[in-house]
């Protein structure tokens, strides 16, 4: 009965808040469901090209715009179907259900090892909310699948600690982790480390080889296409964080500032607190937590610190939630086995509570109910409208710096000035030595207008580009990069045409957005 109760409680804790978030989003978007991040449409656009045998967002042009090796391929089989844009949501909800059941399985193991029944019931119901599962499922990205892969590794390691048996969950989880997210390599390597120090070295070689083989195949594929081993999305974010003038410089600087960034953001502080409290607990319980159990505990600590050092933090904690769910599951199971004195248990529990509150752990569930509906409304008001304008009115090549909605289901060329879908643009922007690089790329691609955030490109905007209008939000920008998109006429002859088509489109705008013309004569 307890097993069934955990499953049902975890599913209720996952699906009931999900339904609430969907209804809140629909209420903000005139009944049209919208993902809270535009990034999902980059994957959808890439999946269209993958289905045609390409790799990128523009036909005949290779680009690594996706930060996941596998995700665009998972979306590709249904490219071209009317319901293709729903497929990421279906995958997210399916992964949410799987994650809830895997989380319930972790709690059942903790219960079998002596965990407090009331505490485990509370974790079954509240864990999916606290770990932000609903938000990650609704953004339509690969992150919920990554959480599932990580929980597979966790369950596999727990089974190994109890029976010394390497089961299918551990094998599948280790192989899938780096394929879904590059950060997953840390989980795969640390899991192999647990097996190595448990004297299963032959199995380690096989498992490590199985995890590396698809990665090597992907990197070889990128080499054959003339692309960098790491995606442009990873390189661009590293450069932004590091402020470097080259891709390699950005990556090195990224390491130097990652800890500062982590301390400034709630999720980064939560990982640091989890590692600190977990390490302290392992030290205090070193006579009770031994062998493979201790290895798994220290793996969780190292995984948290590794992500703080090498990983990223972002909206909805989507980059770091895999390691947080892994560490929380590990420490719940280990705590179930520990018999501390009353004084030590009180001190450790108090420290964990203070760390959770001070470092922002209680910020997790609140953020989902703020940012998912608001993010969906903002994407609907801005990015979707930009895509509709290009699809219905402009119907020609266009330049942008925020890619997704405009590129998806658009047969015309999209020049990505930020560089996720254009290696040339990324390199030119980072070098910054040619003030006319954007104008030259636009001319080469037959682009006559641009729709960009001014503050993103700043000094990179060519002086001959004429600002014509701004698409301005009348609601908070939420997850968007800015609340105003400026429409530029790149050539003089494009100005009149752009104004005419914007005026024709203006009546279709929702109340959450407005067009402001920058020439008083218009």
Backbone angles phi, psi at 406, to 5 degrees: -70, -35
What is the model's pTM? 0.91
DSSP 45-67: HHHHHHHTT--SSBTTB-----S
- Edge-to-edge, what's the strand order for the sheet holding 466-473? 414-416, 398-400, 449-452, 484-489, 466-473, 513-517
Backbone angles phi, psi at 8, to 5 degrees: -65, -40
* 410 shares a domain with 355: no
Which one of 372, 394, 414 terminates a domain? 372
* 444 shares a domain with 297: no
Measured distance CA(104)–CA(98) in Å, rounded: 10
Tokens encoding 445: 């691609």
Tokens encoding 242: 């590091």
Residue 489 CA to its chain's centroid (Å)? 33
Residue 445 lies in a domain: yes
Measured distance CA(284)–CA(280) in Å, rounded: 6
* 401 shares a domain with 339: no
Query: What does each C-alpha distance from 56 to 86, 180, 335, 408 come to in angstroms?
Result: 20, 17, 47, 11
- pLDDT, residue 67, reads 85
Residue 422 lies in a domain: yes
Tokens encoding 41: 């449409």
Residue 240 lies in a domain: yes
Contact 300, 280 (CB under 8 A): no
Going by C-alpha positions, the residue among 320, 302, 322 that lies closest to residue 359 is: 320
* 413 shares a domain with 323: no
Residue 522 lies in a domain: no
* 473 shares a domain with 338: no
Residue 156 lies in a domain: yes
Residue 377 lies in a domain: no
- pLDDT, residue 175, reads 97
Total domains in the fold of the chain: 2
191 burial (CB, 10 Å; 0-12 / 13-18 / 19+) is buried
Each residue's pLDDT tens digit in the chain (522 positions)?
455 788 999 999 999 999 999 999 999 888 889 999 999 999 999 999 999 999 999 998 999 888 899 999 999 999 989 999 999 999 999 999 999 999 999 999 999 998 888 888 988 998 898 888 999 999 999 999 999 999 999 999 999 999 999 999 999 999 999 999 999 999 999 999 999 999 999 999 999 999 999 999 999 999 999 988 888 777 766 555 444 444 444 444 444 456 666 666 777 777 888 888 889 889 888 888 999 999 999 999 999 999 988 877 766 678 888 998 999 999 999 988 887 655 555 555 555 655 555 555 455 555 667 788 999 999 999 999 999 999 999 999 999 998 889 999 999 999 999 998 988 898 898 888 889 999 999 999 999 999 999 999 988 999 999 999 999 999 999 889 899 999 999 988 899 999 999 999 999 999 999 999 997 555
Backbone angles phi, psi at 509, to 5 degrees: -65, 145
Contact 40, 34 (CB under 8 A): no
Residue 315 lies in a domain: yes
Which one of 372, 400, 420 terminates a domain? 372
* 499 shares a domain with 480: yes
Sorted by sequence, the CB contacts under 8 Å of residue 432 that are 6+ apart come out as 245, 459, 460
* 427 shares a domain with 349: no
Q: Give the three-class secondary structure for 305.
A: helix
* 368 shares a domain with 386: no
Residue 139 lies in a domain: yes
CATH number for the domain spanning 441: value is 3.40.190
* 409 shares a domain with 366: no
* 308 shares a domain with 225: yes
* 7 shares a domain with 143: yes
Which one of 343, 372, 401 terminates a domain? 372
Structural domain of 93:
2-372
Q: Give the three-class secondary structure for 38.
A: coil
* 339 shares a domain with 433: no
Contact 272, 325 (CB under 8 A): no
């Amino acid at each position: 009965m307890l097993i069934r109760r955990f499953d049902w409680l975890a599913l209720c804790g996952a699906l009931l808040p999900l339904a609430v978030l969907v209804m809140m989003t629909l209420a903000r978007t005139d009944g049209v469901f919208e993902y809270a991040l535009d990034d999902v449409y980059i994957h959808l656009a890439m999946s269209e090209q993958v289905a045609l045998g390409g790799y990128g967002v523009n036909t005949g042009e290779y680009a690594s715009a996706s930060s996941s090796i596998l995700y665009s391929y998972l979306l590709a089989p249904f490219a071209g179907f009317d319901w293709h844009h729903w497929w990421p949501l279906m995958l997210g909800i399916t992964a949410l259900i799987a994650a809830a059941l895997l989380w319930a399985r972790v709690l059942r193991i903790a219960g079998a090892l002596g965990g407090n029944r009331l505490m485990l019931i509370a974790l079954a119901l509240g864990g999916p909310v606290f770990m932000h599962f609903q938000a990650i499922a609704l953004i339509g990205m690969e992150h919920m699948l990554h959480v599932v892969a990580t929980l597979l590794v966790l369950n596999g390691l727990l089974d190994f600690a109890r029976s010394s048996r390497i089961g299918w969950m551990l094998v599948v989880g280790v192989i899938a982790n780096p394929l879904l997210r590059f950060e997953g390599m840390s989980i795969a390597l640390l899991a192999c480390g647990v097996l190595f120090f448990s004297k299963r070295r032959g199995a380690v070689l096989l498992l490590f080889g199985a995890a590396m083989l698809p990665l090597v195949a992907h990197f070889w594929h990128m080499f054959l296409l003339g692309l960098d081993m790491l995606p442009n999305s990873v390189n661009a974010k590293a450069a932004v964080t590091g402020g470097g003038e080259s891709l390699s410089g950005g990556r090195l600087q990224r390491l130097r500032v990652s800890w500062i960034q982590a301390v400034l953001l709630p999720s980064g502080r939560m990982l640091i607190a989890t590692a600190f409290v977990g390490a302290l607990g392992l030290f205090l319980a070193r006579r009770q937590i031994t062998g493979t159990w201790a290895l798994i505990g220290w793996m969780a600590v190292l995984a948290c610190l590794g992500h703080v050092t090498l990983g990223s933090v972002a909206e909805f904690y989507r980059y770091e939630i895999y390691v947080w769910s892994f560490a929380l599951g590990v420490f719940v199971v280990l705590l179930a086995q520990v018999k501390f004195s009353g004084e030590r248990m009180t001190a450790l529990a108090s420290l964990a509570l203070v760390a959770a509150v001070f470092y922002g752990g209680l910020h997790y569930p609140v953020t989902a109910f703020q940012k998912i509906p608001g993010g969906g409304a903002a994407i609907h008001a801005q990015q979707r409208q930009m895509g509709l304008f290009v699809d219905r009115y402009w119907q020609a090549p266009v330049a942008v710096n925020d890619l997704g909605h405009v590129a998806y289901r658009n047969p015309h060329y999209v020049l990505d000035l930020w560089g996720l879908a254009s290696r040339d643009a990324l390199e030119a922007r980072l070098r910054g030595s040619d003030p006319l690089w954007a104008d030259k790329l636009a001319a080469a691609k037959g682009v006559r207008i641009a729709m960009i955030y001014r503050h993103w490109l700043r000094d990179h905007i060519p002086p001959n580009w004429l600002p014509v209008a701004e698409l301005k939000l009348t609601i908070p920008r939420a997850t968007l990069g800015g609340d105003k998109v400026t429409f530029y006429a790149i050539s003089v002859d494009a100005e009149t045409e752009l104004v005419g088509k914007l005026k024709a489109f203006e009546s279709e705008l929702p109340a959450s957005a407005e067009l402001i013309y920058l020439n008083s004569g218009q």
